[in-house]
Amino acid sequence: MAERILVVEDESKIARFLELELRHEGYEVEIAYDGRTGLEMAQKNDVDLIILDLMLPLMSGIEVCRRVRKFSNVPIIMLTAKDDISDKVTGLDSGADDYVTKPFAIEELLARIRVSLKRKAGSERDSADDRITAGKLVLHKMQHKVTYDGEEINLSKKEYDLLLYLMENKGIVLDREKLIENVWGYDFIGDTNVTDVYIRYLRSKIDQRFGVNYIKTIRGVGYIFESQE
Ligand code: CA
């Protein structure tokens, strides 16, 4: 499927030129001629990349960029009219991924578009593998971070390891021996009741704190982690 690019540019000659060139490259193109319309189109339409002029009527490119960043990580390439360092810095600070100075060579812009789209595809793949989700509970493996409805939960290393194992085995009954083997390791010497203690910690930090019931006890057997949808 063709990737969709939103061009926000008030100079109709440049907008038209970009539209033709991008279509020729096989992209779908949408055009907005002022900042406010650009922002609305970015909100409503599922675009893969935004080319955003800096100087725009109704809302500046910087402001559009800041607002888009509140709801989307879509790649944004900023067009800066002046060869002014401060414009570039402000553009990147506001969340743009890249910038091209006007007048630009179309080949350079096309190359930057390809790079940004490739980077986006890569990061979407990574983030899908990186996360385990159960309702509002999200475990981010790369960052060793757990959140509930966006709020971070502080877990010790063992609590994290235990939760990871439980979430990876969602819906499966796990007995204490299995938890010990997989979370504490085969060489663990000690009471298997340690699992009960850590389950209690997790329940107080997640289930009790947020009024949910992820971790259920299966009497005489062990535990099961169940998604709360
Ligand atoms: Ca302009």
| Ligand 1 centroid from CA 136, angstroms | 42
pLDDT band at residue 217 under the 50/70/90 scheme = very high
Taking residues 67-89, report their average pLDDT.
Answer: 80
Taking the centre of ligand 1 as the mean of its atom positions, its distance from the CA of residue 20, in whole angstroms, is: 18
How far, in Å, from the CA of 144 to the mean position of ligand 1?
43
CATH of domain 4-129: 3.40.50.2300
CATH class of 135-225: mainly alpha
Which pLDDT belongs to residue 190? 78
Rounded average pLDDT over 155-160:
93
Q: Say whether pLDDT at 228 is over 80.
A: no
For residue 60, the CA-to-ligand 1 centroid distance in Å is 9
Give the lowest-confidence range in 85-94, 113-122, 159-168: 85-94
pLDDT of residue 126: 63
pLDDT surpasses 90 at 220 = no
Output the CA–CA distances (angstroms, integers) from residue 220 to 208, 215, 227, in the order listed: 22, 15, 22
Whether the predicted model's global pTM rises above the 0.75 cut? no
161 contact partners, CB below 8 Å, separation of at least 6: 183
What integer is the mean pLDDT of 173-190?
A: 86
**pLDDT at residue 193 is higher than 80:** yes
pLDDT at 87: 67
What pLDDT sits at residue 118? 86
Asked if 40 and 58 count as a contact pair (C-beta separation under 8 A), the reply is: no
- Cα 55 to ligand 1 centroid, rounded to whole Å: 4
Domain edges within the chain: 4-129, 135-225
Q: How many angstroms is it from 35 CA to the middle of ligand 1?
A: 10
C-alpha of residue 100 to centroid of ligand 1, in Å: 13
**Is the distance from CB of 102 to CB of 88 less than 8 angstroms?**
no
Residue 9 CA to ligand 1 center (angstroms) comes to 6
User: HEC states along the chain?
Assistant: CCCEEEEECCCHHHHHHHHHHHHHCCCEEEEECCHHHHHHHHHHCCCCEEEEECCCCCCCHHHHHHHHHCCCCCCEEEEECCCCHHHHHHHHHCCCCEEEECCCCHHHHHHHHHHHHHHHHHHHHHHHHHEEEECCEEEECCCCEEEECCEEECCCHHHHHHHHHHHHCCCCEEEHHHHHHHHHCCCCCCCCCHHHHHHHHHHHHHHHHHCCCCEEEECCCEEEECCCC
CA of 53 to the centre of ligand 1 (A): 6
Of the pLDDT bands very low, low, confident and very high (cuts 50, 70, 90), residue 185 is confident
- What are 96-136's pLDDT values in tens digits? 888 888 888 899 899 999 988 988 777 776 666 778 889 99
